[in-house]
Amino acid sequence: MKHLRQGVRRATAFGLALLMVSLMTGSPAPLSAHPHVWVSALAFLGFEDGKLTKLRVQWAFDEFFSLVLYEDFDRNQNGIFEEAEIDAMREGAFTGLGEVGFFTDLRIDNARVAWNGAEDFGIAVSEDGSVVSYSFTLMLPEPVDPVQQAVTISLYDPDFYVAVDFIDDRPLRFRGNDGVACTYEFEEAADNPIYFGAVFPWRAVLSCSGKGA
């Protein structure tokens, strides 16, 4: 187990060095080794009075990176993330991700939203304790009418150190959208390649009808 933990540290350190300062523990990995961390993501779209106002995002990390989080932040090694440990995790391994938009590319009429920080950071662990998940809220600068405006959502790390994939079962979910019916389809973001043009993130394209029609 000790060797596994050391290996995970070396594999993840370079990819998250600029973003998760507390995890800078090894030498840079070769570029061909990307990605280093895997995330299964889910987004809840929050509405108020027919307008899109926020996203609640959940990330479930792979078991190796979850182990790194236990090593770095479960300070008393009791297998439970307590309040002070969660605060340390937020500051040491989350807040810096604001530099890359928290891996959340929301576009309104093809203009990318600039997030002003994230709110309500929390964590959860799987029943067997092997998977750590983040959750957080991103507030839109102003309410958006998805009936009248084009809305797309793509989740990705622009440097591809972290592979962010939507979960298979209902990856986008809607809350408070009374009177607004929304569906979505995924497309390859051919106009937004990452990792030297070798990878194309998936983009969810919303189609809504209702109050703003």
Instruction: Give average pLDDT by consecutive 10-residue segment, the chain, 213 residues.
Output: 38 40 37 78 97 98 94 93 96 93 97 97 96 98 97 95 94 96 96 93 96 61
Task: Tell whether the torsion through CA atoms of 118, 26, 9 and 165 is positive or negative.
Answer: positive
* Pair 157, 12: CB distance under 8 Å: no
- pLDDT at position 11 is 40
- pLDDT at position 82 is 96
Reading the block at residue 108, the tokens are 């309104």
Name residues whose C-beta falls within 8 Å of residue 1's C-beta, 6 or more positions apart in sequence.
none
**DSSP secondary structure string, 146-173?**
TTTS-EEEEE--TTSSEEEEE-SS-SEE
Cα–Cα dist 209/145, whole Å: 10
pTM of the model: 0.84
- pLDDT at position 212 is 56
